[in-house]
Every structure is written in structure tokens, then in C-alpha cells.
């Protein structure tokens, strides 16, 4: 692994710790290998556990059946891609086939950093909407029109 790839992984690990994701030595090793299920677990945390307003935003934007939650309440790779495209308007750096393969670690790390930034920005926006006039927040704000706030 190159120096720049190690720096990218270090930045991702720092961001994951900042949002409360448990980082272990084993997790870091799996990230280095590009293990798809490690990234699936990170995305599940980001989408459904890190911020309630993001979970609500996803559920308003797309039905749970559409993103293929399985018996363990985890979203699959295809479900993650559907959420990224439909709710966040994000076009992934990798095809789904590349994402679910056991390689492409650098691109998966960079993609995960992109998504963390998207979620942080969306969270800030949604929290601001909670304190502002809700009608103003839903008009021409540059975000997906699926954004809705709780009454």
C-alpha cells in the first residue's frame, strides 16, 4: 500500500472515530484489503445509527423494501447504492460489481469519505431546518426535494 493510500485510510479512521463508529485493528486491516462487508457495515451505521435525522431522511426518500434490508436489518451493497443515488444524488466512484469485490480499497476509502461528508452536510441542513421555518427549508435549497422535517 502506498503512502497516500495509508494517509487516506488514516483520515477515514479519524472520521469514523469522530462520528462514534467503533474502530478496531481488525477493522483497519479489513479496510486495507477493501473488504466489501466492512464498508457495508460502515454505511449501515452512517445511514441508520449515526444520526436519527438521516435515518428519517432516508425513510422519506425511499421505502425500506426498496433498499433490501435483510433479516439482520442490514442493507446490502445494492441497497446502499440505491440510497446513495436516490436520497443523496451521489454517483459512486465504483460500479456495484467493483464495490462488492475484495479489492479497490483506495476507491472504497475515498467513496466512504465522500459519503461521510455528504451525511455531515445533510445533517447540518436538517438540524437547521428544525429550528427555521420548515416551509422555507423545503423550497429551492439545493438539496433533494425529499427532505422533510418532523412536525
pLDDT at 67: 56
| 132 or 42: which leads in pLDDT | 42
Q: Counting Cβ atoms within 10 Å, is residue 96 exposed (0-12), middle (13-18) or buried (19+)?
A: middle
| 52 or 129: which leads in pLDDT | 52
Choose among 74, 89, 87, 82: nearest CA to 39.
74
Residues 6+ apart with CB under 8 A from 66: 79, 82, 86
- pLDDT over threshold 50, residue 146: no
- pLDDT over threshold 50, residue 22: yes
CB atoms within 10 A of CB 13: 16
User: Considering the entire predicted model, what is its pTM?
Assistant: 0.78
Q: How many helices (H) and strands (E) does the chain have?
A: 8, 0
- As a whole number, mean pLDDT of residues 9-31 equals 96
pLDDT at 142: 52
- pLDDT over threshold 80, residue 139: no
Residues 6+ apart with CB under 8 A from 17: 23
- As a whole number, mean pLDDT of residues 108-136 equals 83
Give the rounded percent of residues in the chain with a pLDDT score beyond 70.
Answer: 75
39-86: per-residue pLDDT in tens? 999 999 999 888 888 888 887 776 666 555 554 456 788 889 989 998
How much is the mean pLDDT over the chain?
A: 82
93-103: per-residue pLDDT in tens? 999 999 999 99
Amino acid at each position: 500500500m502506498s503512502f497516500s493510500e495509508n494517509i487516506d485510510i488514516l483520515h477515514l479512521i479519524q472520521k469514523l472515530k469522530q462520528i462514534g463508529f467503533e474502530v478496531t485493528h481488525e477493522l483497519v486491516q479489513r479496510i486495507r484489503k477493501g473488504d466489501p462487508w466492512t464498508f457495508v457495515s460502515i454505511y449501515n451505521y452512517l445511514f441508520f445509527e449515526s444520526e436519527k435525522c438521516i435515518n428519517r431522511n432516508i425513510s422519506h426518500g425511499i421505502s425500506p423494501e426498496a433498499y433490501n434490508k435483510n433479516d439482520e436489518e442490514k442493507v446490502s451493497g445494492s441497497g446502499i447504492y440505491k440510497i446513495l443515488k436516490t436520497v443523496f444524488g451521489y454517483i459512486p466512484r465504483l460500479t456495484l460489481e467493483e464495490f462488492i469485490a475484495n479489492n479497490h480499497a483506495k476507491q472504497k476509502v475515498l467513496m466512504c469519505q465522500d459519503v461521510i461528508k455528504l451525511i455531515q452536510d445533510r445533517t447540518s441542513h436538517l438540524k437547521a431546518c428544525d429550528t427555521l421555518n420548515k416551509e422555507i427549508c423545503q423550497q429551492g435549497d439545493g438539496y433533494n426535494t425529499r427532505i422533510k422535517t418532523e412536525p
